């Protein structure tokens, strides 16, 4: 009886999942497989198989290496700052504070603001004729072309942190509120200080949320192309030339082979990174258990 019920439940679940699976296969899986195939072909009609030539040529390309370096640098800088700030805000807002609800709402507002509006605000601030340069004129300092200077990546990193800090903070708050208060009270009675409680209780029980937030933050760091493209265009300053810029330019030049090869390499890097994070999280959980 139970086996028949399980089979019936599985059949019903398959019926409900079928539309999503069909849509995922048609819109994501099938195009990815076609792109993967194209990355091993040349640009001739019919597409002859050329093996790894497109990947070798891609890795020899100076523009691709520059884009990959900038993308990894941006992820390496932006993600740790975002994690640290969002966790700090979550810890502070987990206490009883005046106007706590208003503070949470103000931090969450960037999530509902359209990307174009965010970029408009940044242009008003950092344009050649923007507010910051106008203030520089008033105090007698020279104007700075922010998006064509070494400050450009820092500006994009600040935008990335400002845009994503609210979402990460809510996730951390949910994780903090799921930790039983008894653990903190017991540790306090035994003479444990705040730093000890934070390291051995908060961080330990917050580790699943921490790894999830880290994963989401890394993925979002690869999606910063929209803001960068709207701010700096197709060929931005060297520090802002990301992998998405490279793929976008290959698309406009109809170089499908390099485009799909770059997309495949980017997918492989993200997959390796995610797999590594999940493995570290699993080992950390086993160690703490």
Tokens describing residue 75: 């992820």
DSSP designation for 142: P
pLDDT of residue 1: 45
pLDDT at position 256 over 50 = yes
pLDDT at position 81 over 90 = yes
At 20-47, the pLDDT tens digits run: 888 888 888 888 888 888 888 887 666 6
pLDDT band of 51, cuts 50, 70, 90? confident
Least confident of 56-60, 84-88, 195-199, 284-288: 284-288
User: Packing angle between helix 100-112 and helix 62-93, nearest 10 degrees?
Assistant: 160
pLDDT at position 267 over 70 = yes
pLDDT band of 85, cuts 50, 70, 90? very high
When the pLDDT of each residue in the chain is averaged and rounded to a whole number, the result is 81
CATH topology (fold) of 60-288 = MetI-like fold (1.10.3720)
Of 279, 134, 159, 282, the closest CA to residue 224 belongs to 159
Span 220-249, mean pLDDT?
A: 79
Distance CA 47, CA 38 (A): 8
Q: Please say whether the beta carbons of 232 and 240 come within 8 A.
A: yes
Sequence spans of domains, the chain:
60-288
pLDDT of residue 83: 92
Using the structure block, give the residue that is written with the tokens 């008003």: 124
Q: Please say whether the beta carbons of 210 and 198 come within 8 A.
A: no
pLDDT at position 218 over 70 = yes
Q: Please say whether the beta carbons of 151 and 144 come within 8 A.
A: yes
Q: Please say whether the beta carbons of 239 and 152 come within 8 A.
A: yes
Alpha helices in the chain (DSSP H): 2-24, 30-38, 53-60, 62-93, 100-112, 115-126, 131-138, 152-177, 181-189, 194-197, 203-205, 207-221, 225-232, 243-252, 256-288
pLDDT at position 5 over 70 = no
Distances from the Cα of 276 to the Cα of 70, 165, 221, 283, angstroms = 21, 24, 17, 11
């Amino acid at each position: 009886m139970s086996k028949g019920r399980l089979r019936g439940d599985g059949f019903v679940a398959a019926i409900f999942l079928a539309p999503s699976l069909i849509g995922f296969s048609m819109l994501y899986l099938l195009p990815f497989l076609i792109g993967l195939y194209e990355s091993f072909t040349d640009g001739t009609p019919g597409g002859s198989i050329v093996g790894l030539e497109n990947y070798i040529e891609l890795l020899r390309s100076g523009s691709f290496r520059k884009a990959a370096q900038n993308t990894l640098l941006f992820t390496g800088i932006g993600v740790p700052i975002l994690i640290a700030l969002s966790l700090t805000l979550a810890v502070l807002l987990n206490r009883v504070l005046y106007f706590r609800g208003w503070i949470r709402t103000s931090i969450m507002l960037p999530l509902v603001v359209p990307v174009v509006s965010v970029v408009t605000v940044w242009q008003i601030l950092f344009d050649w004729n923007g507010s910051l340069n106008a203030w520089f004129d008033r105090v007698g300092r020279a104007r700075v072309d922010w998006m064509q200077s070494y400050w450009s990546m820092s500006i994009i990193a600040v935008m990335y942190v400002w845009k994503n800090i609210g979402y990460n903070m809510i996730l951390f708050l949910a994780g903090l509120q799921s930790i039983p208060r008894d653990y903190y009270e017991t540790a306090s009675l035994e003479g444990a200080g705040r730093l000890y409680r934070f390291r051995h209780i908060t961080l330990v029980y917050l580790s699943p949320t921490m790894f999830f937030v880290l994963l989401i933050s890394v993925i979002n760091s690869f999606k910063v192309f929209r803001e960068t493209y709207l701010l700096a265009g197709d060929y931005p300053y060297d520090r802002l030339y990301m992998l998405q810029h490279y793929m976008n330019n290959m698309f406009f030049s109809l170089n499908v082979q390099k485009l799909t090869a770059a997309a495949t390499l980017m997918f492989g890097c993200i997959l390796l990174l995610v797999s590594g994070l999940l493995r570290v999280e699993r080992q950390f959980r086993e160690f703490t258990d």
